[in-house]
Structure 1
Amino acid sequence: MQVLLVTLTLVRALALEGDTFHVQGIAVDGPSLWVTSVDQAARKGWLFEYSLESGKRLREVELQQGSMYHPGGFDIDDDSLWIPVAEYRRESRSVIQRRSKQTLKLISSFEVSDHIGCLTIAGGRLVGGNWDARKIYEWSLDGRQFQVRPNPLPVRYQDI
């Protein structure tokens, strides 16, 4: 089914509390709006949780690991947030972080030898795309790589 943007109606706009820097990914989970963002000048990556009703910032956590501070599009499951955090350049490296929704603490992570800019959970696997989504990766939830293949489409995903 194809939906044209001109046929859609804006329901509401939500002002978010605080500086959001350069937003990389968003996800809605019940009453929460989750946002990943990069502050390139300060070389910091962020995960923010906002109230979906009011836009009030509820929590935040820095995401960088060494030279990796560029979070990407991410996904959520029942109890975790799955976030790619990469160096700020293509063909670099990333760490895929699994964080607790309850505490925002790091549960586990694994490294990838490419800049992963978008990530989703599908069928019990993680699916991610590198910078400009030229390659599509698949991993197990514990980080075992199943495959990498060229993106068959010209679409350059940032969030999937």
Structure 2
Amino acid sequence: MTRAFLTTDRSTAWTLVERVPLEFPTYHPQGFALVGELIFMTSVEVLEAPEKYPEPVDGYDRTPGTGIGHLLAIDRQGRLIEDIRLGEGTAYHPGGLDFDGQDLWVPAAEYRPDSRAIVYTVDPTTYEVSERFRVNDHVGGVVRDRTTGQVHGVSWGSRTLYSWTPTGRQLSKLANESHFLDYQDCSYAAHGKQLCGGVTTLPGPDNTSYDLGGLALLDLRTNRILHEIPFPYFSPTTNHNATRNPVALETTPTKLRLYTAPDDGQAPSGTELQIYETPLR
């Protein structure tokens, strides 16, 4: 997959080949992990939205709100197989997740920056949830490096890049030198690399806004970007860029395939799996 992604560029043509409706509550999708014939999707159900404070309170810029964290096991036809609850108290926002060949690694954080998070593993067969460690920051996504065993994570807006041991001892904390994308979801991509998708919302004319979406390949050892491309494709039902939230890449014998789910359950047509393909070169 890494080699296939390196052949893409800003002129690569992607085709939306399939739209699979998810006809169950999907809330606000966050991340994907592909495990055999199942797709695991994290999503946050917001019961009471966080509200901005007029001035910071105890170092926070907003209230925590209330909600429920979900890890949804879905088959490739879009049917719900299992709804796994994640989180604790105000840490109800699950983020980008990764499958390391044995377990799913998933964070659940408070829905505000500079807060706290719990990193879990989930058995993809039994759905058993195990707490691994806690972090004094909002962790929006994690990836397990299969070459070192280390766990890598991103903060709110991916402005800080972390690495930890599997038991949570912090190994590094670095500012993200790239300001092109806020990474929303990352997955391990072999040989010590991760593939990330995300967006940056930019102001447009006449009080409009524009979601600049893209994909990036990073070296987990150095956090250096090895390859990145814009992704100028949008949901057919909303103005959301396709890489707004969950993304997952896989290869077939002839295609590079991208799974996306840019729309929330509250959208007019609900959430769809929107699947793009481009021929392998």
The TM-score range, normalised by the shorter chain, is over 0.9
Bigger Rg, structure 1 or 2: 2
Matching residue of 1:72: 95
* SS of aligned partner of 2:141: strand
**CA–CA separation in structure 2 for the residues paired with 1:108 and 1:94:** 11
Alignment of 1:1-160 (within 5 A): 1=6, 2-4=8-10, 7-41=13-47, 43-52=67-76, 54-122=77-145, 123=147, 124-154=149-179, 155-160=181-186
**CA–CA separation in structure 1 for the residues paired with 2:43 and 2:11:** 25
* SS of aligned partner of 1:44: strand
Structure 1 segments of 4 or more deviating over 3 A?
none
**CA–CA separation in structure 2 for the residues paired with 1:4 and 1:27:** 25
* Cα displacement (A) at 1:108: 3.3
* Cα displacement (A) at 1:66: 1.8
Unaligned runs of 5+ residues in structure 1 are none
**CA–CA separation in structure 2 for the residues paired with 1:11 and 1:29:** 21
TM-score by length of structure 1 reads 0.93
**CA–CA separation in structure 1 for the residues paired with 2:38 and 2:95:** 18
**CA–CA separation in structure 2 for the residues paired with 1:21 and 1:3:** 32
Bigger mean CA deviation after superposition, 33-42 or 5-14: 5-14
Aligned residues: 159
Matching residue of 2:258: none
Query: Are 2:132 and 2:166, in contact at CA under 8 Å, matched by a contact in 1?
Result: no
**CA–CA separation in structure 1 for the residues paired with 2:80 and 2:86:** 17
Query: Are 2:87 and 2:118, in contact at CA under 8 Å, matched by a contact in 1?
Result: no
* SS of aligned partner of 2:157: helix
**CA–CA separation in structure 2 for the residues paired with 1:16 and 1:151:** 34
* SS of aligned partner of 2:17: coil
**CA–CA separation in structure 2 for the residues paired with 1:5 and 1:74:** 29
**CA–CA separation in structure 2 for the residues paired with 1:129 and 1:72:** 10
* SS of aligned partner of 1:132: helix
Where is the strand percentage greater, Structure 1 or Structure 2?
2
**CA–CA separation in structure 1 for the residues paired with 2:75 and 2:46:** 25
Q: Which one has more relative contact order, counting CA pairs under 8 Å at least 6 apart?
A: 2
Identity percentage over the alignment? 34
Query: Are 1:99 and 1:106, in contact at CA under 8 Å, matched by a contact in 2?
Result: yes
**CA–CA separation in structure 2 for the residues paired with 1:88 and 1:79:** 28
C-alpha offsets along residues 5-58 of structure 1, whole Å, 9 cap, x if unaligned? 761111211212301100011121210111000011261010000011x11100
| AA in 1 matched with 2:39 | L
**CA–CA separation in structure 2 for the residues paired with 1:67 and 1:12:** 36
| AA in 1 matched with 2:16 | L
**CA–CA separation in structure 2 for the residues paired with 1:34 and 1:126:** 19
TM-score by length of structure 2 reads 0.54
For the aligned residues, what is the CA RMSD? 1.5
* Cα displacement (A) at 1:151: 0.4
